[in-house]
Structure 1
Amino acid sequence: MPIDVDEVRRQTRGLRSVVHFNNAGSSLMPAPVVDTVVGHLRREEDIGGYEAAEEADDRLENVYSSVARLLGARPEEVALAENGSRAWAAAVYSFPFTPRGRLLIGSTEYAGNVLALRQLAEHNDLEIVVLRDDVHGQVDVEHLQLELERGNVAMVALTHVPMANGLVNPAAEVGKRCRAAGVMFVLDACQSVGQVPLDVQALGCDVLAGTGRKFLRGPRGTAFLYVRAALLDRLEPSMLDGHSARPAGSSGFEVRSDARRFESWESNAAGRLGLGRAVDYALDLGLDAVQERVAGLADRLRTELASVRGITVHDRGITRCGIVTFTVAGSDAGGIRRLLADHRINVSVAPRSFPAGTPPEAEMVVRASVHYYNTEAEVQRLVGLLQ
């Protein structure tokens, strides 16, 4: 069923103030999500934090079920976290690396993930291999296959949707190759969750990390982690507390059997409830319908931008998403962002190249990321200002 754009715009109060094309940074939350967060904070104000959490225990528990439905997983395979980077790192840092193993990564990996992998490589005597891009700019699965056949691969880490350039990496094909080789596959889905359907079985990933604030339209400071049940016993968290483990015997300990072994005791209950409401909101709309509208708006924006003299669109890939990147001849990306902000249009900037294989001084591009609540008229307003 198509999305009722008028209704979702009515429920998005921020649209009264701005045109928001920074959904890859942080989307505008719908009213039901904001009301859920604020409502719980009011209960904490009225009766106390622990008491409010106890009162909301069933709803907090349902967040795991909602995330599991979003991913095609089981609730016991889901952990909640304060951000996507921490969720991703909680699993990756727990992997039992052996010296001289190889880590395979894409060329468009998120900078924070690359830094974490470099630290792990240094501490565990590992080699990082950056996989080539194919002619479309996405990860080259044939190069991946060659590296898998060389052997001694400890892990494959891939960002599903890079922070810029508009493409969706062929994660399911990567997962298929990794599963056949018996290699752990870690997928960063922070930019894809909420704008494309995700099914961890079809993707073939062992670990998937996602965030609430981007296309999922949840609160900042919320995220989740999926870890395949069969892998859990191999991954012992690098830090434990009374939530993730319990005493065993006179001097031992026993780690939780489910994915919550990657959580800690204290958490933001209001944020978690907001995350659950955002997941339910997306599921009610239908991720297929979301993807169709987002991709359609993004394609229209690319076409309109490409028709303007002096504007170059830099997006690549066979399958493209809601992230649109471009440059304007004679203007720097930051200046364009400020110009649009003066007209109450939100965009962001991002590096055209990526830290996995390029220097930090890489050229910056304007990043306009659309969502289903944006309209064709807003696209025209953006392009008209640039003209």
Structure 2
Amino acid sequence: MLNIDQLRADTPGVQHRIHLNNAGASLMPRPVLEAAQQHLQLESEIGGYEAAALVREQSIGFYESVAQLLNAKPDQIAWSGSATQAYNTALSAIPFQAGDTILTTEDDYVSNQIAFLQLVKRHHLQLIRARTLPEGGVDTSHLKALIRQHRPRLVAVTHVPTNSGLVQNIMGIGEVCRANGAYYLVDACQSAGQLPLDVQAIACDFLTATFRKFLRGPRGGGFLYVSERVLEAGLEPKFMDLHSAAWTAPDAYRPRESAVRFETWERSYALVLAARAATNYAIELGLTAIAEQVSMLAAHLRQRLSQLEHIRVLDQGQQLCGIVTLSIEGLSARGVISALNQKGVNASVSGKGGAVIDFEKKGVDWALRFSPHYYNTTAELDRAVEALKQLPTQ
């Protein structure tokens, strides 16, 4: 059972805002903020290189913490500046050849879809999207059949799309991928920190995420998980540096044996330590307890919103999470966000350009996105609904 009072005491921002934009960037708890501030203070006093040397053991602990979060090994974890950077680094390591297939879903994240289209253009690949079930979510039976039929080089699934409360079924895909020679890439950007993740059970080859969302870490940090299969196959990103590889002779180099080969040398150690603190904070609370609390809050919010006129809750799927999306008749996205901000409510908007296929099916050009987290209360959600009720409609 989560101690909500303690969690809110750890979160100064709740004193003056109803923060329902955790799918964008969560409010950091005090231990995370303090970890970053203390290291920046140390850098200001003794220098950046010297400060990094002093916190070497703590920074190595980052890999141990993320590995624990994912049920992985520390040498399978790489630091990244963002989830997108981690994702693109993984994509760059896959040995695509002309005629290869990328298999994905209609709900994959917009940046991923753009990257797939670029790869199609550059390497003359084929892009296939598995069909969506009538109730929402990828048809995993169809996806597995497509794997067997096309034997794609890559299968890519976004666990939780940014524009919807949908939780994709990512289980059972990895085994089919391995049996058919495909690599399996999971985007966990919106699920890390609100849902349990076990890379052994998922059987993925790559998994990427950020810290600023439901993990409640700082902006500017993400991670990449890499399977032993990938490391043993010798896959490496398109570009490495003196950190990710060794220059062994004038015309030779050797990649690092671990997932560090997917990193580069430069990073903010303040962010690394804060990301470790955020990961440990989530682990100590327990991802199962977090998921239950977030699910309860999101269900409460959807129930309240469904009672309002001129509002349509858009979330579909057999399993839903802490992202709640809705359309509002007669109002502009900018006007809604401005009005909510004036009432002390933080939310965000997903535009059609970020969800072309999904929003065309739903017949909307934009969606308002509320994303509560475990430190929010039902009273806050009720006040946010009341703020929506007070918006002027045409």
Question: Which category of TM-score, normalised to the shorter sequence, fits these structures?
Answer: over 0.9
Query: Secondary structure at 2:315's aligned position in 1?
Result: coil
**Counterparts of 1:162 and 1:151, CA distance in 2:** 25
CA shift digits 1:174-203 (9 cap, x unpaired): 334323433211000000000000000111
**Counterparts of 2:95 and 2:138, CA distance in 1:** 26
Query: Secondary structure at 1:129's aligned position in 2?
Result: strand
Residue 93 of structure 1 contacts residue 120 of structure 1 at CA under 8 Å; is this kept in 2?
A: no
Which residue identity does 2:200 align to in structure 1?
Q
Greater displacement, 199-208 / 118-127 = 118-127
Query: Secondary structure at 2:52's aligned position in 1?
Result: helix
Greater displacement, 129-138 / 206-215 = 129-138
**Counterparts of 2:176 and 2:148, CA distance in 1:** 10
Which residue identity does 1:279 align to in structure 2?
T
Residue 79 of structure 2 contacts residue 222 of structure 2 at CA under 8 Å; is this kept in 1?
A: yes
**Counterparts of 2:251 and 2:81, CA distance in 1:** 31
Structure 1 pair 234–362 and aligned structure 2 pair: CA distance change class (3 A): farther
Which residue identity does 1:40 align to in structure 2?
H
**Counterparts of 1:91 and 1:243, CA distance in 2:** 17
Query: Secondary structure at 1:186's aligned position in 2?
Result: strand
| Structure 1 segment 107-186 matched on structure 2, within 5 A | 107-186=106-185
**Counterparts of 2:195 and 2:174, CA distance in 1:** 17
Residue 359 of structure 2 contacts residue 365 of structure 2 at CA under 8 Å; is this kept in 1?
A: no
1:334 matched to 2:334 = yes
**Counterparts of 1:358 and 1:371, CA distance in 2:** 25
Number of residue equivalences: 385
* Alignment partner, residue 372 of structure 1: 374
Which residue identity does 1:298 align to in structure 2?
A
| Structure 1 segment 73-84 matched on structure 2, within 5 A | 73-84=72-83
**Counterparts of 1:326 and 1:151, CA distance in 2:** 36
Deviation for aligned residue 1:351: 3.1
1:386 matched to 2:388 = yes
Deviation for aligned residue 1:108: 1.0
Residue 193 of structure 1 contacts residue 215 of structure 1 at CA under 8 Å; is this kept in 2?
A: yes
Greater displacement, 191-200 / 172-181 = 172-181
1:354 matched to 2:332 = no
Deviation for aligned residue 1:120: 1.3
**Counterparts of 2:171 and 2:183, CA distance in 1:** 14
CA shift digits 1:1-36 (9 cap, x unpaired): x11000000000111221100000000000110000
* Alignment partner, residue 12 of structure 2: 13
Query: Secondary structure at 1:104's aligned position in 2?
Result: strand
**Counterparts of 1:152 and 1:146, CA distance in 2:** 10
| Structure 1 segment 151-230 matched on structure 2, within 5 A | 151-230=150-229
**What is the Cα-based RMSD across aligned positions, in Å?**
1.5
CA shift digits 1:242-297 (9 cap, x unpaired): 10111123421101111010111111100010000000000000000000000000
1:65 matched to 2:64 = yes
* Alignment partner, residue 37 of structure 1: 36
**Counterparts of 1:324 and 1:196, CA distance in 2:** 15
| Structure 1 segment 245-324 matched on structure 2, within 5 A | 245-324=245-324
CA shift digits 1:206-256 (9 cap, x unpaired): 100010000000000010000001212331211111101111234211011
Structure 2: gaps of 5 or more residues: 390-394
Which residue identity does 1:107 align to in structure 2?
E
**Counterparts of 2:218 and 2:359, CA distance in 1:** 32
**Counterparts of 2:357 and 2:65, CA distance in 1:** 34
Residue 151 of structure 2 contacts residue 181 of structure 2 at CA under 8 Å; is this kept in 1?
A: no
Which residue identity does 1:230 align to in structure 2?
R
Residue 105 of structure 1 contacts residue 130 of structure 1 at CA under 8 Å; is this kept in 2?
A: yes
Which residue identity does 2:8 align to in structure 1?
R
Deviation for aligned residue 1:362: 5.9
Deviation for aligned residue 1:171: 0.5
Greater displacement, 202-211 / 348-357 = 348-357
Q: Provide the TM-score with structure 1 as the length reference.
A: 0.96
Which residue identity does 1:307 align to in structure 2?
Q
**Counterparts of 2:372 and 2:136, CA distance in 1:** 21
Residue 164 of structure 1 contacts residue 367 of structure 1 at CA under 8 Å; is this kept in 2?
A: yes
Residue 171 of structure 2 contacts residue 201 of structure 2 at CA under 8 Å; is this kept in 1?
A: yes
Which residue identity does 1:198 align to in structure 2?
L
Query: Secondary structure at 2:213's aligned position in 1?
Result: coil
* Alignment partner, residue 27 of structure 2: 28
**Counterparts of 1:152 and 1:145, CA distance in 2:** 10
Greater displacement, 105-114 / 73-82 = 105-114
Which residue identity does 1:386 align to in structure 2?
L
**Counterparts of 1:358 and 1:118, CA distance in 2:** 19
CA shift digits 1:63-100 (9 cap, x unpaired): 00000000000000000010000001111111111210
1:50 matched to 2:52 = no
> 4+ residue runs of structure 1 moved beyond 3 angstroms?
355-359
Residue 153 of structure 2 contacts residue 181 of structure 2 at CA under 8 Å; is this kept in 1?
A: no
Greater displacement, 287-296 / 163-172 = 163-172
**Counterparts of 2:251 and 2:156, CA distance in 1:** 36
Structure 1 pair 358–365 and aligned structure 2 pair: CA distance change class (3 A): closer
Residue 323 of structure 2 contacts residue 369 of structure 2 at CA under 8 Å; is this kept in 1?
A: yes
**Counterparts of 2:269 and 2:364, CA distance in 1:** 40
**Counterparts of 1:222 and 1:194, CA distance in 2:** 14
Which residue identity does 1:381 align to in structure 2?
R
